[in-house]
Structure 1
Amino acid sequence: MMNDRLRFAATMTLCLFVYQGVANAQEQPASAKPAESRASSSTAAESLYATDNLTAWLVMFTDSVKRTPDERAEMVAQFGFKKAGFEAFKKYVPILEQQMDAYAKRNIKVTSVYVVVETETPSEEAHVKQILDVLQRRGETPQIWAMFGRGSFQSTTDEERNKKLIAAFSDLAKYVDKAGCELALYNYGSWFGTLDVQLAVIEGVRQNTGIKIGTVLNFHRGHQHMKDFPQVLEQMMPHLYAVNLNGMNWKDADYDGGGARILPLGSGDYELTMMRQLAESGYRGPIGIIDHRSGVDAEVALKENLDGLVKLREKLK
């Protein structure tokens, strides 16, 4: 009888211990993480947003100072950038090689060239040919970031539009691949930036050509992704080549209009959350720091963003 009582008491003690453990776990806030998990997240963020992983982006066409290629390269170099992108709008294509030379003198590598295509056979467009001719002559292989203009395919159905996009980017992928470069869709918001369109084009190009292409995520064109950003990242991750940062406000969530919401880093109320989610997603690619504010000196805009990034890094620890 005594043994039975002891066994019963022991069993009740064990049950009470287990119940209390479960209750404590349930009372813990959902956002709380074990110390080692927080440390891992902090380490990932530190590495992702480190200076040597930053790329100067969109520092040309909105620059109020209208710098020469050499002046632009000097300005980018003074901030410590070792990577930069080139905005190959038609009017800037003639200075592509001059700008690459100016960057090279300062040990800055052009890692991306952005181009707007206009037809279903981009490989035959003069400005696209000129870009690839320059790169092949120099033996350089930056990523090609491409998109159609916002007004394209307005008179077609969604299904017809996607077929045209797949045909165009299949043509461009083969041309770019032959030059030794990678192709990425430049996520410019609106219909072109929706996840289903991007994934459909990426998969369609793979089926047509066997070539893997990717996508570029721009925070300043990605407000439509804010509310379900972790889920969006999970789907994008196998294809995500680059991410460009921007200040983000929650009130702009779901916005997909024509005018970009350009804010300096650290001035919004939600970019910190998105940057943390990006680091936790496993993304380890390049991070772009933009100018892109019309009428603002690119030097001023870059400094504001870099200063904001320093403050955000501290909060990510």
Structure 2
Amino acid sequence: MFRGPALHCCLAFWMVISCLAEEIPPNLKRENLVPWCIVPFDAAKRGPAERSAMLAELGLRRCAYDWRSKHVAEFEEEILQYEKHGIEYFAFWGQHDQAFRLFGKYDLHPQIWNTLPSPEKATQAENVASATRALLALAKHTAEMGCKLGLYNHGGWGGEPANLIAVCRALRAAGHRHVGIVYNWHHGHARIGSWAEDLKEMLPFLHCVNLNGMNSGAKPKILALGQGEHELSMLRILIESGYKGAVGVLDHQAHLDAREVLSDNLEGLAWLTGEIMRPGSVGPRPAPRARSQDK
């Protein structure tokens, strides 16, 4: 519970944020953000009902669903709980026949996020051709489902912006215009210094950008927004680019309660946005409050 000066500081922060609400780009408003990595990484081990209620209580209205084999039995209940709580099933991680059948049953068309392969061929042309071939069947299937396909950077050759773009272009040239890029800051620390150039090239292809606190050298890899060295300038570049697509916020910390991590990231994003819109108006960086749930 906040008391005394801390309470006044918190109230002042939120008053400024409230004044900024109309200036904030729509894709950075809370109801349009996409929580990501909140299912297997939640220390509280919420089920579909608890997770959906938690998102709704935080004012979040979308979710990108990641999963492990133990969650397959919950696929349908997750859909039903999102519907009950007014949560958009925004994206699904990877491929699973049961999930794809359920999307048809419930007339859902989430983005499908899939890691771009790293073929390790002798030449760049061979790598692009191999990665494109590997994704053709999924590109066709997602088109039939009415779902966008997002090529996801996850390290290696397939995590480089130039390669994501090259494979996107190849798949689009083959008629798959629904294919784009899901770019994750937490897998892009090596490209921090090239963010402006990378974003400019990726912009026509972006389906979603997942944010993260960013320090040089990925120290640490996952960090609350507002606590790093680089995310303020990176977010400013994203806003100034005119990007209007989806923006994600992470949990991705299995020793922490997903609700606490999301709350820290929402406060951090509000602070970053305030600093960009009205520099110096939102006071000091908010202190993260998530605490380890490990025993």
TM-score bucket (shorter structure): 0.7 to 0.9
Which residue identity does 1:184 align to in structure 2?
G
Q: Match for residue 47 of structure 1?
A: 26
Change (3 A) 1:233 1:148: closer
Q: Which of 88, 93, 106 pairs up with 1:109?
A: 88
Which residue identity does 1:52 align to in structure 2?
E
Please report how far the alpha carbon of residue 161 of structure 1 lies from its aligned counterpart in structure 2 after TM superposition. Answer: 3.7
- Unpaired segments ≥5 residues, structure 1: 1-41, 116-126
Percent of residue pairs identical: 33
Q: Match for residue 155 of structure 2?
A: 189
**Alpha carbons 1:145, 1:185 under 8 Å: kept:** yes
Q: Match for residue 103 of structure 2?
A: 135
Q: Which of 73, 98, 114 pairs up with 2:77?
A: 98
Please report how far the alpha carbon of residue 153 of structure 1 lies from its aligned counterpart in structure 2 after TM superposition. Answer: 4.0
Q: SS of the residue aligned with 1:209?
A: coil
Q: SS of the residue aligned with 2:96?
A: helix
Q: SS of the residue aligned with 1:105?
A: helix
Please report how far the alpha carbon of residue 51 of structure 1 lies from its aligned counterpart in structure 2 after TM superposition. Answer: 1.6
RMSD: 2.2
Which residue identity does 2:99 align to in structure 1?
I
Taking structure 2 as the reference length, the TM-score comes to 0.80
* Greater gyration radius: 1
- Indicate the larger mover: 276-285 or 191-200: 191-200
Q: Match for residue 265 of structure 2?
A: 305
**Alpha carbons 2:116, 2:153 under 8 Å: kept:** no
Q: SS of the residue aligned with 2:167?
A: helix
**Structure 1: distance between partners of 2:159 and 2:53:** 33
**Structure 1: distance between partners of 2:164 and 2:64:** 22
**Structure 2: distance between partners of 1:137 and 1:168:** 27
**Alpha carbons 1:45, 1:316 under 8 Å: kept:** no
Please report how far the alpha carbon of residue 260 of structure 1 lies from its aligned counterpart in structure 2 after TM superposition. Answer: 7.5
Please report how far the alpha carbon of residue 46 of structure 1 lies from its aligned counterpart in structure 2 after TM superposition. Answer: 4.0
Change (3 A) 1:248 1:53: same
Please report how far the alpha carbon of residue 182 of structure 1 lies from its aligned counterpart in structure 2 after TM superposition. Answer: 0.9
Please report how far the alpha carbon of residue 85 of structure 1 lies from its aligned counterpart in structure 2 after TM superposition. Answer: 0.9
Which residue identity does 1:157 align to in structure 2?
A
- Unpaired segments ≥5 residues, structure 2: 1-20, 278-295
* Residues 125-204 of structure 1 aligned to structure 2 (within 5 Å): 128-147=96-115, 153=119, 156-159=121-124, 160-204=126-170
Change (3 A) 1:91 1:191: farther
**Structure 2: distance between partners of 1:204 and 1:49:** 31
